Amino acid sequence: LQNRGLRVWIDQEAEGNLAEDEMKQGIRESKCYVLFLSKTVFDGAVIMELETARQEEKPILVVHESDPNRPGFANFSAYIDAAPASAKHLFKEKESMPFQRRRYLAEAFYKELIERIRAAR
């Protein structure tokens, strides 16, 4: 994706054909890593992605599912409990942004997310 000069790599665009090397390369080429918290986020490749982001000293931005009617929703304490020890510090250091789908909220959400990505160091 291209947005106002901001390149975004989304591993979900690989249509389920995720290769570890490609995922790591995408993280290496990115300015920062966006961790989207959902009920099962720490059950898969995200652990490897987080480790890669940490090794590459990439800033990590945190976004969480905010709609309790969505299957991926969990109480925030469940995200913290499920996180690997190497990622628990994120919950003390970062403010998680609630993901917004409604059009009137989504525009502001994406604007803020883009600003946080641009400001990431």
Cα dihedral sign, 100-33-13-42: negative
pLDDT at position 22 is 87
pLDDT at position 2 is 45
Lay out the sheet containing 97-98: strands in order across. Answer: 33-37, 60-64, 97-98
Provide the percentage of residues in the chain whose pLDDT is more than 70.
85
pTM score = 0.83
Asked which of 5-9, 27-31, 80-84, 94-98 is least confident by mean pLDDT, the reply is: 5-9
Q: With residue 99 as reference, give the H or E element that holds it.
A: none
Task: Identify the residue with better confidence: 96 or 1.
Answer: 96
Largest distance between two CA atoms of the chain? 37
Q: What is the Cα–Cα distance from 82 to 72, expressed in whole angstroms? A: 13
Work out the pLDDT band at 54, boundaries 50, 70, 90. Answer: very high
Does the pLDDT of residue 11 top 80, yes or no?
no
